[in-house]
Amino acid sequence: MIKRGAVFAIVLFGLMALGGVVSETAAQDERFSLRSLQGAWGYSASGSVSGFTSAAVGRLVMDGTGGCTNVAYLNLGGSVIPLTSMAAGGQCSYDVGPDGRGSIDVTFIDPLGNPVVFSALLVIVDHQKEFRFIPLDPVGTTIATGVAKRQ
């Protein structure tokens, strides 16, 4: 005679295995690429930079091939700084993996002509209607999070 605990374990294992198959099938149905982010995005982010409370809003346009343009306003400790990737010396590029995770690298140019480098990791969510991002900071002085939504 099989004990009740053994039957429960067998049923639970079976359901977990079935759930894994369903989850894997769902994951295979939605593949992501550079084209997944093609278009215009409005975004906001907040956190701290070098100990200063900061926030940003901006507009990002992605071309579907890994290129982009980005204009933003950065509030750093109460001072608002306009930034653009479209000035001489600016650049913007992004990458997306098949699982919806990716990265973005931007060199903004501030009003004085100085470069401001920004790199972040991102994940696409909500059926490609938005993505969330966190900055990469090798120095460890930036802690922030942001959300971008299709315009």
Q: How many other C-beta atoms can be found within 10 angstroms of the C-beta atom of residue 54? A: 21
pLDDT above 90: percentage of residues in the chain: 78
**Domain 34-150 CATH class label:** mainly beta
Tens digit of each residue's pLDDT (9 = 90 or more) over 43-87: 999 999 999 999 999 999 999 999 999 999 999 999 999 999 999
pTM listed for this prediction: 0.79
| Domains of the chain by residue range | 1-30, 34-150
Q: Which residues contact 139 (CB under 8 A, 6 or more apart)?
A: none
Q: Tell me the C-alpha distance between 120 and 135, whole Å.
A: 4
